[in-house]
Amino acid sequence: MKVDKFIRVAIAALIVVAMLIALAALLFVTESALNVWDRLREGPSLLLYGYVAAVALLVGASLWFMLRLVVRRRPRQKKQVARPLTRAEIEERLRSADDSGIDTRSARAELSELASRQQARAVHLCFFGEISSGKSSLVRALVPAADVKVSAVGGSTLDIQHYEWTAPDGARVLLTDVPGTGGVDAGLDQVAEQEARRAHIVLFVTDGDLARIEKDALRRLLQLDKPLILILNKSDRYDATEQAQLIGRLLEHLNDLGGSWDRDQVVAVSAGGESDVIERQADGREQLARRTRPADTGVLVVAINSLLAGDAANFDERRDRAIFRLAADKLADAEQRYRKERAEQIIRSSTRKAVIGALAAVSPGTDVIIQGYIGTTMTRGICRLYGAEPRDLDIEEFLTLSQSRAGRALPLSLAVAGNGLKAFPGVGTVAGGLAHAVAYGLIFDALGHSLILTLEKHGELQPARAADEFGENFGEHIEAGVKQVVGMALAEKDRNG
């Protein structure tokens, strides 16, 4: 008790001494400032104003430097000017990706497919649309004799098929029938849209006004900057007035999506087919009969031939650009998968080091120092992987904010760690130390995955948002990673005996 009283008295004495020193310093500064002010007032006005300006400039420069040093600045977002990719650019990216160990087979397959089509010198027309819009019937109506499949896209289903047609000028044309979009298998939507990107001309088929999902698909196709014809199929279901109204609505949709469109680029057709009708016989009996409805595709043939009569070189150039962009998108997907795999490796390595550090801690607090070093290394490594170059202050702010959230969530981490250890019989009385190590490992596993989500969303380290992501999804992350982290802790325990 005497020692405790002595310490409190010593602290009080230090406070008094510090207060006296501060007061003396304040009096000295005040006296000096007043002396300077009096001398300036006695001197020339030019000296007074010059001195005041110099002091203001010095204070302003100091404040500016402090703000630059302490306050986080968001990097200027450069305006991305969309421009077509060239073959040389995409091939350079592919070589760089190969050097990094990224899987480029899917992207290179698109360039190989392009080379094959360039050599075949055929014009590709792709019929694209929702399921049950009548694309296949329309292909058969245009080319009744084209019942032989020319080829199928490698790696996709046989539902994508090419049928040969000869244009009036003798040009070889391939009509492509793709799976309808909007079905149960969402993967077929992507297959159909990719085939549309490979085509010279897109024939967008609908059987009524555009639904939202159709309008979204049409927007993406228009961004490819290639010829497109919007087809209102099954027009025999509507009278002349209704057809005119629907054509007007489709033109409005096209104008809303950008650009001006000719009336000839929106056509109403009927693929024909068969339908059941009830016939009344002479004796009054009713009988079910099938009748053939004639196809009416003349306006579509005229629209297609009008496009084919244009500049073929321009068609090829626009098709090539679209495929280069498709290859670039597939390469970007491969790069994204590579980043996630490498980031997972960094997280696993950092989590393991955190577990080892917690097991090696000899006194309360020593593991916190170890974790700070590991956290900085992990954050910097993941950011570099995603092309972000955060400042040291940004990393420090992120870890500081995250640490406060981790402190509040530590009881949850320990509880999850304890439950995870129960799945391993024979842990016994050492479970307390292991639970501590597993809890720290779970924190680092959650921290790394939260950082990945933030970088994927924003492309840079934003400390506050990343820390919020960590805090908001902490429970979900640790539940997902508990089995792996417990395995790390037990393996390390066995390794050290």
Round to whole Å and give the CA distance between 127 and 201: 9
On whether both 124 and 173 belong to a single domain, the answer is: yes
On whether both 289 and 148 belong to a single domain, the answer is: yes
The per-residue pLDDT for range 441-473, each reduced to its tens digit, is 888 888 888 899 899 888 888 888 888 888 887
Residue 206 φ then ψ, to 5°: -140, 160
What is the domain range of residue 345? 335-495
Predicted local distance difference test score (pLDDT) of residue 429: 44
Question: 295 pLDDT exceeds 90?
Answer: no
In percent, the amount of the chain with pLDDT more than 70 equals 80
Question: 414 pLDDT exceeds 50?
Answer: yes
Size of the chain, expressed as the number of residues it contains: 497
What's the mean pLDDT in 53-76? 70
What's the mean pLDDT in 283-296? 71
- Structure tokens that stand for 104 in this block: 């480029």
The per-residue pLDDT for range 362-371, each reduced to its tens digit, is 444 445 444 5
The per-residue pLDDT for range 177-186, each reduced to its tens digit, is 988 888 777 7
Q: Residues 234, 235, 236, 237: what is their CA dihedral angle, to the nearest 10 degrees?
A: 80
Predicted local distance difference test score (pLDDT) of residue 416: 65
Round to whole Å and give the CA distance between 153 and 191: 10
> Angle, nearest 10°, between helix axes 240-256 and 212-222?
50
Round to whole Å and give the CA distance between 331 and 94: 8
Q: Which of 244, 275, 310 is the last residue of a domain?
A: 310
Predicted local distance difference test score (pLDDT) of residue 368: 47
The residue that leads in pLDDT, 155 or 373, is 373
Total-model pTM: 0.70
Total structural domains in the chain? 2
Q: Report if residue 465 sits inside a domain.
A: yes
On whether both 286 and 400 belong to a single domain, the answer is: no
Question: 407 pLDDT exceeds 60?
Answer: yes
What's the mean pLDDT in 406-418? 67
Q: Report if residue 19 sits inside a domain.
A: no
Round to whole Å and give the CA distance between 473 and 405: 11
Structure-token match 């400039």, residue found: 57
CA angle centred on 185, ends 179 and 186, rounded to 5°: 90
On whether both 240 and 377 belong to a single domain, the answer is: no
Q: Report if residue 439 sits inside a domain.
A: yes
Q: Report if residue 50 sits inside a domain.
A: no
On whether both 282 and 174 belong to a single domain, the answer is: yes
Q: Which residues contact 25 (CB under 8 A, 6 or more apart)?
A: none
Question: 152 pLDDT exceeds 50?
Answer: no
In terms of Cα–Cα distance, which of 129, 124, 59 is closest to 319?
A: 124
The per-residue pLDDT for range 242-262, each reduced to its tens digit, is 888 999 899 888 888 875 567
Q: Report if residue 21 sits inside a domain.
A: no
Question: 204 pLDDT exceeds 90?
Answer: yes
Question: 135 pLDDT exceeds 70?
Answer: yes
On whether both 399 and 259 belong to a single domain, the answer is: no
On whether both 151 and 299 belong to a single domain, the answer is: yes
On whether both 272 and 361 belong to a single domain, the answer is: no
Question: 338 pLDDT exceeds 90?
Answer: yes
- The per-residue pLDDT of the chain, averaged, comes to 80
* Three-class secondary structure assignment of 46-94: HHHHHHHHHHHHHHHHHHHHHHHHHCCCCCCCCCCCCCCCCHHHHHHHH
Q: Which residues contact 150 (CB under 8 A, 6 or more apart)?
A: 161, 162, 163, 164, 174
In percent, the amount of the chain with pLDDT more than 90 equals 21
Q: Report if residue 86 sits inside a domain.
A: no
CATH number of the domain residue 126 falls in: 3.40.50.300
Q: Which of 310, 344, 367 is the last residue of a domain?
A: 310
Q: Report if residue 76 sits inside a domain.
A: no
Predicted local distance difference test score (pLDDT) of residue 156: 37
Q: Report if residue 60 sits inside a domain.
A: no
In terms of Cα–Cα distance, which of 74, 107, 12, 38 is closest to 388?
A: 74
On whether both 296 and 184 belong to a single domain, the answer is: yes
On whether both 191 and 267 belong to a single domain, the answer is: yes
Count CA atoms closer than 13 A to 389's CA, side-chain side. Answer: 1
Strand pairing category for 201-206 and 123-129: parallel
On whether both 225 and 355 belong to a single domain, the answer is: no
What's the mean pLDDT in 69-93? 66
Q: Which of 131-140, 162-171, 181-190, 362-371 has the highest mean pLDDT?
A: 131-140
On whether both 288 and 341 belong to a single domain, the answer is: no
